[in-house]
Amino acid sequence: MTKPFVVVAGTDFSENAARALRTAYDQALQHAPAELHVAHVSFAATAEPSLPLAAASGLTALPVLSLDELRAALVKYLDQQLAKVAGFPSSGVRVYAHVAIDTPSFALIRLASELEADLIVVGSHGLHGIARWLLGSVTDGVVRQATCPVLVVPPKPDTQPVPSIEPPCPRCVAARRASSGGELWCEQHRERHGRRHTYYQSDRAAAETNMPLVVR
């Protein structure tokens, strides 16, 4: 029996996770018949429904869901998302729901390894600076440690600032053309870019003999 194309996707029920889920489904659809395994990973859970966290955690206002509650929430979420997909019942993509109690990045990597996944799809929240350091990055952990290809789905363009790209400096373009590539920048921008280094065949020979490269 031919092994199906297996896609593993993580979800935290966020808007961007929904985008990643749709991308994961589209990837599976391209290789149908295929399997799409969607995992929701929590740091904690209990055997009883909706028990509060212990006082020692400092988060007594937040309930800890049971595994059954987590599974029910994931199944409901997938039902809602897949209902928006035209032709899903006859698509040839089988969807499975998984819940786990673990570090999210490690749980996704382990699930993908156990299933011999062909692809992992994860969303990126686009956090930067202190927010990224405090919350960590599931995406980074998956990309660094996964043993199969990883597809990262970014947030919508309008949810994060996009720097405007200016056209090339006309004087820089003129300088490159006039010097046939000998000068890359005009006088104004040369200081910002610094001196360039061009590699020659002698540099390769120096590198192979552990001699220092020559900067020209």
Instruction: Yes or no: say if 41 and 70 are a contact pair by the CB < 8 Å rule.
Output: no
pLDDT grade, residue 215 (50/70/90)? very low
Q: Which of 69-83, 106-120, 172-186, 199-213 has the lowest mean pLDDT?
A: 199-213
- Condensed to tens digits (0 to 9), the pLDDT of residues 129-145 reads 444 443 447 888 888 88
pLDDT grade, residue 154 (50/70/90)? confident
The predicted pLDDT at position 37 comes to 96
> 5-158 has which CATH code?
3.40.50.620
Q: Report the chain's mean pLDDT, rounded to a whole number.
A: 78
The predicted pLDDT at position 214 comes to 39
The total of other beta-carbon atoms located within 10 Å of residue 29's CB is 18
Q: Is the predicted pLDDT of residue 73 greater than 70, yes or no?
A: yes
| Ranges in the chain annotated CATH 3.40.50.620 | 5-158
Spatial separation of the C-alpha atoms in residues 156 and 116, rounded to whole Å: 30
Instruction: Yes or no: say if 7 and 39 are a contact pair by the CB < 8 Å rule.
Output: no
Q: Is the predicted pLDDT of residue 14 greater than 50, yes or no?
A: yes
Phi, psi dihedral angles at 5 (to 5 degrees): -75, 125
pTM score? 0.64
In percent, the amount of the chain with pLDDT more than 70 equals 69
